[in-house]
Amino acid sequence: MPFISKDWRSPGEAWVKLEDGNWEKLKVLECGKRKRIPSTSEDDENTDVTAVPPHCHITIRCTKEIAGFNGLGDAVQRLDFRSSVRDRRRFHYICTLLGLIVTGKGIASLPGSAQRLLLQMVEEVASHVSDSQQNINVLRGLVIQLQQIVNQENQKCWGKPLGSQNLWLEHKQTIERIQSMTSQIQITVPDSSIRPRMTDLPEECIREIILRIADYRDLEATSKAWNVMSALVNEQRIWRELTGFHFNKNQVNFILDKNKSRIINDAKDWKKVFHDLRKAYGEREDHQFIEILSLCRFCCCLFWPSDGHPCIIDQCPDLKQRLTEAGEDIKLSQPVPPAQFLKFFSL
């Protein structure tokens, strides 16, 4: 098998230095998909820019013909998770994923490079929250979980940390920086001269804001903020539309028929109906996020829907035409919640 390289020692793969100082191997098949742009500084080298949107191929099932291994660290880099932290559409998805990793088997079960990437992402979350002064409760939850990891004894093997002691020392220093950054966050009170404020808005505007809240816990917290919000949150319309957002008609009709004896004069308590449905079916996890990772059914690539991915369908016009003629009901991709994402890596 010939090597695509002038050097007999390498199959044409190059190493590219990332912004965080780590090095990533540039695969042979990706060399043609990279382009170089001149740097803004004369002293700096040219910068590598990926010409294709971030995506990651996943091996769904290993067979005799198809063998592969999914690396979490490689997937995190290829899907550009660290930069996506500052995207408001992807922030909650990534934070939920980080929380599942930390509260599960912990970072001790991950390779060293994946551990470093995980903590770098949490540090990026802390920096973003500090700049935007939003989602502080999400950051504090991650910090508490990280502190528990440091204090846990089950992260040790034969009395010592599982892995390199220098690596764990670096992890502790990163966690200390995150804790320090979190403790220094202070909410800046808006200037009293800025108008309009929330209390100046009419009820119709506030109701429209409340109708866009997808988590019932946020609704209950909102009702405690202001008496006008409390009155609006108690409206039946709010809970009726929240019920329709999370559950389909068959599920709703089943619960309504089951509780028919409790309904008097068709006066439905939609808040109770919602909680009965939640207990029976649970909330749809993909409805909790603005943007959620998707898995292509044809090329088995994970990708962000807003960016897309280079699909095999685009390279096969006949297949694309047959799918178009079959109808629009064929789903080319399926959403991948955070828990499902981790199953690809046996976590």
Mark whether 205 and 178 lie in a shared domain: no
Instruction: Name the residue range of residue 259's domain.
Output: 200-288
CA–CA distance, 344 with 347 (Å, rounded to integer) = 8
In a domain, residue 177? The reply is yes
Return the C-alpha torsion angle 286, 289, 293, 298, nearest 10: 40
* Assigned domain for 128 exists: yes
Dump pLDDT digits (tens) for 280-320: 887 766 667 888 999 988 888 899 998 888 887 777 777 76
| Between 201 and 60, the higher pLDDT residue | 201
User: Would residue 55 count as lying in a domain?
Assistant: no
> Is 276 part of any domain?
yes
pTM of the model: 0.71
Residue 322 lies in a domain: no
| Residues 121-139 pLDDT 10s | 999 999 999 998 888 989 9
Residue 320: inside a domain, yes or no?
no
Instruction: Indicate the number of domains in the chain.
Output: 2
